[in-house]
């Protein structure tokens, strides 16, 4: 028989030893109870570990996420001056670094929440056992057991898991806490905790809570104040309320005692802190200096369109991305525009009866205060307040406010009833009814050289309703459209001196509609032939329609479309402002006139930065090659290309502006003449009249305003743009007078200034023009080359001056016995060309 190989011998020995070990295990299992118990326990642990891994640990978020964690942060909005104007936030959040947290605040939170934080590995086993016992005793009672969570566990809960109340979540919390301790330092964990912990009043983190409860930064808090903040994690929406004052004081004092026990405060310091009142400030919203609700709402809407609203919409969302937004908001101009529009609305509404409540709420369930708070209705004008009528007896009653206070109300209109939300003002120890004007309007202020919107007011107060009449109200512009009709005429062979018939103009509209005859404002008829300038200054409908008809309505509506006012059908009524548009569009179109026909898209946002300061969007995207060179390379300075787009001939734009200056000097906006500024503009009044307008300004600032009812109806027969809208613009200019430079409109290349007779439009060769004099007979007029009126050679058309000069020439020739001087020479050239341009 062959001898066994070494491999077979080894295999035999292994089988023999394994068989012996199995026999020993089986025998011991039968004979030893403790062995069987240990086996069962080990099996149970293995099974438990498997179950925990399958149902709890598997799928848990990685603790490494905390290394790059970016908390949801509000968007901060700055004005053109760089000052914070507002924020877009549903929660109060401010991020601080660990070094920014004062030591007493840290110690207060550790005393209240986790005194062994610096020594444990993420789990406080003593506290955990106590929490398990508490859970067992309260099981089935409906009461929530105390957490027993360390600060590390709370970070896991707040950031990675959520606040679900279950054993499963608690197990996940324990596992993640251990992982977090292996990834982050204690300082990093505490920084996350103090920045993210919910502390009531919509505040997350200690800095936001410090502002919400004490109106202080954390570095300015005193010992009793940091102790109060430390009690909030247990009941964030409870301790800040007046009815839980005593409980809050007791809990705060307990924290102070714990700080003494832990050696983080002396007894004397604690006793002094206990003697202090809570010192909480009233709950209030963030109050920024800029009162620009309509402007800021437009910014918010555009940001949401660009970046999304919520965190899931992208990393730069409005309510979570922590954006820094620089806007074009000019707070001085904004305040002036708001005040001017409000004054105009109140001036028109003066003496009119109360027209109804701002809103109504149901008083039957007794929660009127909650309803008033959630309505978000308020007002910021003088000392007015928004409240709800709680009761009425005769012409007096009781009014309640969002802060829960009530007071007597007197002078109630007959139609007012309980549940009406109204505006009131203090009157001694009572309240008196105040009426927000029913009529409304919008106003926009723009920089014509960049398109930046400097101010925007879309009604009386944005807190009473978010509908922005400056951008959303579609209104007929009336006569403010006429400059663009005249611009079309100028582009097609007419001049400001062209004579146009101001007479009856009728068009046949077909068998169904018959013949339509146009009329001037107020039903006036014609007055003969006049210059185009006079027709625009006096806003003559008949002349405008005739110009539109002779030029072609297809061309007119193309001009209107090119400047962004609207896309209209080529009907003659559109030449009189029958199409709908907005204040913003009209102001932007007039900005193109003032900017030599070059137009920029209106913008309210200059640029947007993400939370790290990187610019993620800007309005002006023009590249500037070489602008960031470390050193000058000796070449010419880099220049930006012109922005915007040319929508109108620069010469035509200036001719229109020059004529519109006459509207202020002697036309429908003559109320502005005493401002003594180089201004241009146009009034507008629509049929009814339902809307009144004024749009105009200077080379640097263009403003437009309209006024009318939200549901259009007549403003009254006396209502005209020059009487109602232009005074609003005037007040705006007066209150910002230092911003309006006394510099005339620049004349573009290719325009010739020629002296003409203002009435006849004929060329004048004597006398100095005076465009600032309302009744001046001779004025400067703007012409394109070769379009100015020519000198006539007909004897019957010679002026008196020409006849005198001719007689002098003949007398001189007779005296010297010589023939008349030959034509030509300097004197003849000057006379032939009409003198100075």
Residue 495 is given by DSSP the state -
Question: How many angstroms from the chain centroid is the CA of residue 579?
Answer: 27
Please, are residues 704 and 694 in contact by the beta-carbon 8 Å criterion? yes
CA dihedral for 608, 612, 613, 615, sign (positive or negative): negative
Cα separations in angstroms, 456 against 100, 295, 334, 616: 39, 5, 7, 25
Query: Which ranges in 114-238 belong to alpha helices (H)?
Result: 125-138, 151-155, 167-183, 186-196, 206-214, 223-231
Which residues are annotated as catalytic? 113, 479
Reduced DSSP (H G I as helix, E B as strand, rest coil) percent helix, strand, coil of the chain, to 5: 40, 15, 40
CB atoms within 10 A of CB 379: 18
Tokens at residue 754, please? 């020629």
Do 652 and 483 meet the contact criterion of CB atoms below 8 Å apart? no
User: In angstroms, rounded to a whole number, what is the distance separating the alpha carbons of residues 316 and 310?
Assistant: 9
Cβ within 8 Å of residue 165, ≥6 positions away:
144
User: Across the chain, how many H-helices and E-strands are there?
Assistant: 23, 26
Task: State the angle between helix axes of 650-666 and 583-594 in degrees (0 to 180), rounded to the nearest 10.
Answer: 110
- For the record, the structure tokens of 66 come out as 């905390």
What CA–CA distance (Å, rounded) separates 575 from 548? Answer: 7
Structure tokens at 135: 């859970």
Residue 749 near residue 658 (C-beta atoms within 8 A) = no
Asked if 344 contacts 728 with a C-beta cutoff of 8 angstroms, the reply is yes
Is residue 179 a contact partner of residue 172, using CB atoms and an 8 Å limit?
A: no
430-434 and 528-531 beta bridge pairing: unpaired
Inter-CA distances, 66 with 158, 414, 504, Å: 12, 63, 79
By the 10 Å C-beta count (0-12 exposed, 13-18 middle, 19+ buried), 711 is classed as: exposed
Q: How many CB atoms lie within 10 A of CB 477?
A: 30
Query: How many whole angstroms separate alpha carbon 836 and alpha carbon 753?
Result: 9
Identify the three-state secondary structure at position 641.
coil
DSSP at 248: H
Question: In 222-358, where do the E strands start and end?
Answer: 324-327
């Amino acid at each position: 028989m062959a001898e066994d190989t070494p491999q077979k011998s080894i295999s035999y020995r292994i089988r023999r030893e394994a068989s012996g070990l199995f026999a020993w295990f089986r025998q011991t299992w039968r004979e030893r109870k403790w062995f069987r118990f240990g086996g069962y326990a080990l099996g149970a642990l293995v099974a438990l570990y498997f179950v925990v891994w399958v149902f709890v640990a598997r799928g848990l978020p990685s603790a490494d996420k905390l290394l790059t964690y970016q908390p949801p942060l509000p968007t901060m909005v700055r004005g053109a001056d760089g000052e914070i104007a507002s924020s877009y936030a549903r929660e109060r959040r401010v991020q601080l670094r660990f070094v920014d947290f004062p030591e007493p605040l840290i110690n207060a939170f550790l005393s209240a929440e986790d005194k062994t934080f610096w020594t444990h590995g993420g789990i406080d086993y003593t506290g955990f056992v106590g929490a398990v016992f508490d859970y067992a005793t309260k099981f089935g009672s409906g009461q929530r057991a105390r957490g027993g969570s360390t600060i590390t566990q709370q970070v896991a809960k707040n950031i990675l898991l959520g606040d679900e109340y279950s054993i499963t979540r608690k197990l996940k919390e324990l596992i993640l806490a251990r992982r977090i301790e292996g990834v982050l330092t204690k300082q990093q964990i505490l920084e996350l905790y103090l920045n993210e912990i919910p502390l009531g009043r919509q505040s997350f983190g200690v800095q936001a809570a410090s502002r919400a409860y004490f109106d202080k930064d954390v570095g300015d808090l005193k010992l009793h104040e940091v102790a109060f903040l430390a009690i909030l994690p247990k009941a964030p929406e409870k301790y800040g309320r007046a009815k839980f004052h005593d409980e809050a004081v007791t809990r705060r004092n307990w924290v102070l005692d714990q700080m003494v026990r832990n050696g983080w405060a002396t007894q004397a310091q604690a006793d002094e802190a206990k003697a202090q009142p809570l010192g909480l400030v009233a709950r209030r919203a963030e109050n920024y200096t800029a009162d620009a609700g309509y402007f800021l709402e437009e910014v918010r809407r555009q940001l949401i369109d660009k970046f999304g609203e919520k965190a899931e919409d992208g990393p730069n969302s409005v309510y979570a991305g922590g954006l820094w937004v620089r806007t074009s908001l000019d707070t001085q101009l904004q305040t002036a525009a708001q005040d001017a529009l409000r004054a105009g609305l109140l001036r028109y509404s003066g003496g009119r009866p109360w027209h109804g409540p701002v809103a109504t709420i149901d008083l039957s369930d007794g929660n009127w205060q909650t309803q008033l708070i959630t309505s978000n209705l308020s007002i910021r004008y003088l000392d007015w307040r928004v409240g709800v009528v709680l009761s009425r007896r005769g012409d007096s009653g009781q009014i309640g406010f969002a802060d829960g206070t009530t007071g007597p109300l007197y002078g109630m209109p007959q139609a007012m009833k309980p549940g009406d939300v109204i505006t009131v003002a203090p009157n001694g120890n009572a309240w008196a009814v105040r009426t927000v004007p029913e009529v409304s309007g919008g106003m926009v202020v723009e920089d014509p050289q960049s398109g930046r919107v400097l101010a925007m007011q879309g009604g009386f107060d944005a807190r009473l309703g978010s509908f922005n009449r400056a951008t959303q109200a579609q209104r007929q512009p009336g006569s403010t459209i006429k400059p663009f009709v005249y611009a079309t005429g100028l582009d097609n062979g007419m001049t400001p001196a062209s004579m146009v018939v101001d007479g009856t103009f009728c068009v046949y509209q077909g068998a169904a509609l018959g013949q339509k005859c146009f009329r001037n404002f107020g039903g006036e008829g014609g007055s003969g032939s006049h210059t185009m300038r006079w027709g625009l200054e006096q806003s003559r409908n008949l002349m405008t329609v005739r110009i539109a008809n002779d030029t072609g309505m297809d061309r007119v509506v193309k001009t209107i479309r090119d400047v962004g006012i609207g896309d209209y059908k080529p009907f003659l009524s559109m030449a009189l402002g029958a199409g709908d548009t907005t204040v913003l569009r009209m102001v932007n179109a007039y900005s193109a006139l003032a900017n030599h026909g070059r137009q920029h898209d209106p913008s309210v946002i200059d640029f947007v930065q993400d939370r790290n300061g990187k610019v993620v969007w800007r309005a002006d995207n023009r590249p500037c090659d070489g602008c960031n060179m470390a050193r000058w390379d000796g070449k010419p300075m880099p220049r930006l290309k012109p922005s915007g787009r040319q929508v109108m001939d620069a010469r035509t734009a200036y001719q229109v502006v020059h004529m519109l200056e006459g509207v202020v000097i002697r036309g429908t906006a003559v109320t502005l003449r005493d401002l003594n500024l180089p201004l241009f503009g146009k009034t507008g009044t629509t049929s009814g009249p339902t809307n009144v307008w004024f749009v105009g300004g200077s080379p640097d600032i263009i403003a437009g305003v309209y006024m009318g009812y939200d549901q259009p109806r007549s403003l009254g027969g006396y209502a005209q743009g020059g009487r109602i809208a232009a005074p609003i613009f005037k007040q705006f200019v007066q209150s910002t007078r230092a911003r309006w430079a006394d510099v005339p409109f620049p004349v573009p290349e290719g325009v010739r200034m020629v002296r003409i007779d203002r009435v006849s439009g004929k060329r004048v060769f004597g006398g100095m023009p005076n465009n600032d004099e309302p009744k001046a007979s001779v004025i400067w007029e703007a012409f394109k080359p070769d379009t100015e009126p020519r000198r006539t050679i007909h004897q019957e058309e010679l002026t008196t001056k020409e006849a005198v000069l001719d007689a002098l020439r003949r007398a001189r020739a007779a005296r010297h016995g010589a023939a008349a001087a030959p034509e030509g020479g300097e004197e003849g050239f000057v006379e032939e060309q009409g003198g100075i341009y």
